[in-house]
Amino acid sequence: MRISVIGAGYVGLTTAGCLAELGHDVFCAEADVQKLARLCAGELPFFEPNLDDLVQRNRAAGRLQFGSTEDAIDRGRAIFICVGTPPMENGEADLSAIESVARTIARRAQGYRLIVEKSTVPVQTGRQLRRHLALHSSSTLTYDVVSNPEFLREGTAVEDFFHPDRILVGVEDSRAAEAMHEIYRPVLERTVACPVHHSKDCMKQAKFVVTDTNSAELIKHASNSFLAMKISFINMVADLCEAAGADIGKVAEAVGLDPRIGSSFLQPGIGFGGFCFPKDLQAFVRIAEKFGCDFSLLKEVERINKNRVEKFVEKIKNELWVLRGKRICVWGLAFKPKTDDIRFAPALSVLRQLLAEGAQVQAYDPQAMAKAQLEIPDVTYCKDMYEAAVGAEAIVLLTEWDEFQGADWDLLSRLVQRPLLLDGRNTLSAEQVSACGFQYVGIGGISAMPKTHPQVADLAAEVHV
């Protein structure tokens, strides 16, 4: 099918590349001229594992092109709207980019168009889109408006596209549902090989869920809000474990064994970030308010999340006392591993507070340093995790990149000024780290004194008394 994707952000570009991989003829539009020039030159504007290969391969095969919104609207029989819906001051989603695309479609398009709303939007946006098109389009345009929320996670977006649990379409009539089924048929019938695993066998059977548009829009916000709620819940349990002398690792593991609860999204830490959870949570609260429902449960989820950074910085201060003038090594800046995305990253909030306290920060992140440097220049950005540790009085892990699992702790113990690790993601082994002479301080009651340097152990124990 001839498909156009409007917006080449994380969602749009991934969707465009993956739809082309399914065999569709895809035209992806980007309004930012600099970004468009980079895309046309074969450069990706952000890091996402496996996406570069996918985009280059499909461009070379002639299945993926980039250009203007106008050209996209003229060419595509299906138009996927993937523009940004950033939060406004009051937490509501700003829908002006969606409205502007709808206006251009109404002005230009003739014949039939399947208009697919993929950006995360408040319930009843599809209804508004229909009304807008009815008011402003010419009599030669016929259309269906479909809600097709995405459930891709940054860092594993390509994999997630080919291994979905469900493909959700919100429609008002069966013609649109059939067209959407046709678009996703290679995934649903597993006739395409997953480009990450290079096999069809690994693909699980996805459910094709058809609802009305309002329900589909609501499902997306409810899903993200529920996951955010799980994270804040486990973070509170972590606080309780710490205060009461329990071990959050063991508690979360056993709680997650109940299939009604599930083990995922029970990882405690410095909180959730990124461009989805924080904004979707706020938007969902605002949507509920608009419809007269008090969703203060989610306000609490947000409040708990905001406190995580404060609490973690307190933990650092508890170990180092005064931060002014102290050299601190920070590992990880992105809001999660396998991405260079730093939007609403809790790591950057921690970093800002360390700087505000007068610390000298040496930071390393495998992908996010270029973006972080533009936002926070007063940090020494280092070429690797070891350079960042030189002379540091503490190593502070903020994003759990796999690379940190393989750290050489013997070498690190010779590089740092004080062997102290504060693990903001509870991701490293307290046992392994302490065996190499480091004091380990995690979240939720997980800590260990150094095993091979008795003098440091004595000192650390003294400070803890």
For residue 371, what is the enclosing H or E element? Answer: helix 369-375
Q: Which residues does residue 25 pair with via DSSP β-bridges, in sequence order? A: 2
Nearer to ligand UGA, 151 or 386 (CB): 151
Cβ atoms of 4 and 12 closer than 8 Å: no
C-alpha dihedral, 73 to 79 to 80 to 84, nearest 10°: 30
Binding residues for ligand UGA (CB under 6 A): 120, 150-154, 224, 227, 231, 265-267, 269, 272-274, 276-277, 335-336
The beta strands (E) that lie in 94-205 are given as 111-117, 141-147, 166-170
The sheet that has 420-423: what strands, in order across it? 380-381, 360-364, 327-331, 394-397, 420-423, 439-441, 447-448
User: What one-letter code names the amino acid at 19?
Assistant: L
Cβ atoms of 154 and 48 closer than 8 Å: yes
User: What one-letter code names the amino acid at 52?
Assistant: D
* Residues in the chain, total: 465
Minimum Å gap between C-beta 269 and ligand UGA is 5
Minimum Å gap between C-beta 88 and ligand UGA is 18
Cβ atoms of 341 and 10 closer than 8 Å: yes
Nearer to ligand UGA, 102 or 219 (CB): 219
- For 381, phi then psi, to 5°, come to -90, 130
Minimum Å gap between C-beta 313 and ligand UGA is 17
Nearer to ligand UGA, 274 or 437 (CB): 274
Residue tagged active-site, from 276, 329, 382, 436 = 276
Structure tokens at 299: 């306000």
Verify whether residue 276 is a known catalytic residue: yes
Burial classification of residue 325, based on how many CB atoms lie within 10 Å of its CB (0-12 exposed, 13-18 middle, 19 or more buried): exposed
> Which residue's entry shows tokens 């591993």?
337
Minimum Å gap between C-beta 399 and ligand UGA is 8
Minimum Å gap between C-beta 297 and ligand UGA is 18
- Helix and strand counts by DSSP (H, E) for the chain: 18, 15
Nearer to ligand UGA, 27 or 161 (CB): 161
Minimum Å gap between C-beta 192 and ligand UGA is 21
Minimum Å gap between C-beta 422 and ligand UGA is 16
Structure tokens at 99: 């409205």
Nearer to ligand UGA, 154 or 319 (CB): 154
Q: Residue 366 to residues 272, 369, 380, 404, 423: CA-CA distances in angstroms?
A: 19, 7, 15, 10, 17
Minimum Å gap between C-beta 407 and ligand UGA is 19
Nearer to ligand UGA, 86 or 325 (CB): 86
Nearer to ligand UGA, 280 or 393 (CB): 280
Nearer to ligand UGA, 153 or 200 (CB): 153
Question: How many whole angstroms separate alpha carbon 397 and alpha carbon 44?
Answer: 28
DSSP string, 30-70: -S-HHHHHHHHTT--SS--TTHHHHHHHHHHTTSEEEE-HH
The residues assigned a catalytic role are: 276
